[in-house]
Amino acid sequence: MLAIVAACAAFTLILVAGLIFIISFTWADLYDGNVPLPINESDIGTVSEPVEGIENISIEFSACDVSIVTSDEASDVTVEMDIIRRGFFGKKADAKIITGISGGTLSIKNEMRGMIGFFVIQKYSAKVTIPASYDGNISLQFNACDADVIGLSVNDFYAYGNAADVRISGLTASGECSFKTNAGDMTADLANGSSPGNIFIKGNAASLDITLPEDFSARVSARVNAGDISGDYLKVDGFGAGNEFLIGENPTRKMTIEINAGSLTLRESKPDNS
């Protein structure tokens, strides 16, 4: 019995000491590696896939920081993943970059298994580089990610964020565009000179901020439920309200908007992109 009591007391002391250690630093200090821990290691993996014959690129990432960029020098799609592990003791996590090509579609996703240990912190980051010459379709899905998408020039574009913070800048699209987010934030900037097709915007308990290219025009159908739409073009408030209006002159494209318990800001791009 004394042995059991002693073991419980020792465990309690270790637990209290650990809690004091954690509380004495901010989460940012621990997460960013400013605090030395017994386990402090990093693994890096790189995968490349050709884009020749590829019409669609589908990318899905979960629980990591992501950047998607283009390069004039790249001839293949390259995925670099960095996994940083910090903690006291435990089993290493497994992380994989999974790619596959089927029927003209290149699929990229990550797969992770959590590290088991005492006060363990893991930080995942990924960088996807796409050749600037690629002009096919791109579909992006981010689950619990912090994501930056920079300078893509594509045909159809689809972006979905789930509990994610997504920033899309300098997007040039010639086909349909879709911006959807659930319980997160998304900003998107369509570059001047971009002439997209129909546009779909949907937010659920989310905030969206979309900048449209200069001289943009569209026939808009908007439905707002416990949210609002505002910006340079319009302001719509309502619960279950259906609204139709025009942006610009002689529109040929359609814009469909659905906001549920969230907000959408529509901005007009300025000539100097400011």
Instruction: Identify the pLDDT of residue 42.
Output: 46
Domain boundary among 76, 106, 134: 134
Q: Which residue has the higher pLDDT, 214 or 96?
A: 214
pTM of the predicted structure, to 2 decimals = 0.81
d(CA 260, CA 168): 21
Domain boundary among 77, 100, 134: 134
Q: Do 152 and 260 share a domain, yes or no?
A: yes
Instruction: Identify the pLDDT of residue 17.
Output: 57
Q: Do 107 and 240 share a domain, yes or no?
A: no
d(CA 54, CA 77): 11
Give the pLDDT confidence of 97-115 residue by residue, as tens digits.
889 999 999 999 988 765 5
Q: Report how many helices (DSSP H) and strands (DSSP E) the chain contains, helices first.
A: 2, 22
**Number of Cβ within a 10 Å radius of residue 130:** 24
Backbone phi and psi for residue 3, each to the nearest 5 degrees, phi listed first: -65, -40
Q: Do 193 and 260 share a domain, yes or no?
A: yes
The residue segments making up the domain with residue 4 are 1-35
d(CA 260, CA 181): 11
Domain boundary among 78, 100, 134: 134
Give the pLDDT confidence of 205-241 residue by residue, as tens digits.
999 999 999 888 899 998 888 888 888 876 555 444 5
